[in-house]
Amino acid sequence: MAFLPLRSLASAARGTYEGWLGRLSEELADPSCDRYDFCRRILTDIYYPQYRDVAPEELPETTRIALLQMDARNITLEPEYYSDIDTEKYSRVKPLLWLWEMFDKSVLGENVELGVLFRRMLARHIFRSCGKNFKAFHFVKFSFGYNMEVGDDVVVHRHVLLDDRGGIRLGNGASIADYANIYSHSHALADGRDVDTPATVIGNKVRITYHATILAGVHMADDSMLGAMAVGTKDVESGQVALGIPAVPKLQKPAQRPNHPATKDPLADA
């Protein structure tokens, strides 16, 4: 196979993006920042800048309702209906989760460079911990958000569900491919209201490939792998490649070639 590291690339507007994100990051870092107002202002500027200074009573009713959606205080999200939610913790992250989701639905969200940098900024104020060079692509979804522990150099690709209800740990260098699902809660067969919430652990340099699913409480040991469309129901040991439904170890990862040089990540932290 060919050795194909990522190309170095930066858009002509990167300075503009970095300036905007720098100002937003400074505002979020201020302990007195009203995160709900922060979310409302940014989303209003993205979706309805023409109505920023218009009196609401002068607008059609449906337009007023649409503007209400810019403020996370006016919406409910599914995790808020869960009995085990920590309402104090969730209140702090809810406006940032809503901002993340609505950013992704906007014209800005498909821009890979801006999107990765914007989500990285938010992740550091949502997750329990977030290491350097975190990359999340388009339409990543969380449950609580505040139960995420993310190491260095983690990549989460498009349309991934990270159900951190019981807690998810992503180790250094972990890679989660498109349309994967990682769960940390399960329901009893007899009554769906009986819920178990064991933490799910993805070790260092683990690869979760396309459309794979990991069920609650599974531990993927360092350098293991879950194959495409596989369903992980049991722990996978270091170096093993688990395939199938349910996934069972079928392969052993070969040793990494020592002749490949280190390469630069074009979207790494400055």
> Average pLDDT of 202-221?
98
**CA pair distance 218, 206, nearest whole angstrom:** 13
Q: Contact 164/181 with Cβ under 8 angstroms?
A: no
Domain at 16-252, CATH from 3.30.70.100, 2.160.10.10, 3.30.565.10, 3.40.50.720: 2.160.10.10
pLDDT of residue 229: 98
Q: Return the CA Rg of the chain.
A: 20
Residue pLDDT, tens place only, 81-130: 999 999 999 999 999 999 999 999 999 999 999 999 999 999 999 999 99
The reported pTM is 0.95
Q: For residue 56, name the pLDDT band (cuts at 50, 70, 90).
A: confident
What residues does each domain of the chain span? Answer: 16-252
**With DSSP H G I counted as helix, E B as strand and the rest as coil, what are the percentages for the chain, rounded to 5?**
30, 15, 50
Residue pLDDT, tens place only, 132-166: 999 999 999 999 999 999 999 999 999 999 999 99
**CA pair distance 100, 160, nearest whole angstrom:** 14
